[in-house]
Amino acid sequence: MPSSTEDKEGFKPNIVAFCCNWCSYAGADYAGVSRIQYPANVKIVRVMCSGRINPVHVLEALLDGADGVLIAGCHPGDCHYIRGNLFARRRYTELKKLLEVFGIDPRRVRLEWISASEGEKFAHTIKDFVNSLKELGPNNVRRRM
């Protein structure tokens, strides 16, 4: 169940979470139905598999105002699409290098494996990510119009 997390300066990091349908989205749902508190700063985007997350979508989220992006998928070996999460891990490694080219701190993007039964882990991951982003401060890289 989301809760407000605003520090004394008023900075509430905006997080976009790309969650795979089969595991991490179900884990987020489990956190909600179990009334496990986590920050309301997260906007969840349900995707069929973490391996289908295009790095362009992560960059667009950051350029459109997200302070951080979470990519969450099934644990390695448990992917419903066999190796989708391994593709996600490979893309994530390359994405971190690309972020530096754009002048974006790579710590603004995080990859986590969260299963359907790990509502506590989902909530803890969001809380930890919010705290990390508060230390980094607002994402000042924006798309030019």
pLDDT tens-place string over residues 126-144: 999 999 999 999 999 887 7
| pLDDT, tens only, 62-91 | 999 999 999 999 999 999 999 999 999 999
Residues 95-124 have a mean pLDDT of 96
pLDDT of residue 142: 83
pLDDT of residue 102: 87
| pLDDT exceeds cutoff 80 at 7 | no
Task: Name all domains of the chain by residue range, CATH numbers in brackets.
Answer: 12-136 (3.40.50.960)
pLDDT of residue 4: 47
With a CB cutoff of 8 Å and minimum separation 6, the contacts of 100 are 106
Q: In this structure, is the dihedral angle defined by the CA atoms of residues 92, 57, 54 and 131, taken in order, positive or negative?
A: positive
pLDDT of residue 97: 94
pLDDT of residue 40: 92
Query: Following DSSP, what letter does each residue of 38-88 receive, concatenated?
Result: EETTEEEEEES-GGG--HHHHHHHHHTT-SEEEEEEPPTT--TTSSHHHHH
Mean pLDDT of the chain: 93
Whether residue 50 contacts residue 20, with contact meaning beta carbons closer than 8 Å, is answered with: yes
Structure tokens at 81: 């699409």
| pLDDT exceeds cutoff 70 at 2 | no
pLDDT of residue 8: 42
Whether residue 71 contacts residue 36, with contact meaning beta carbons closer than 8 Å, is answered with: no
Whether residue 13 contacts residue 65, with contact meaning beta carbons closer than 8 Å, is answered with: no
Q: Letter for the amino acid at 110? A: R
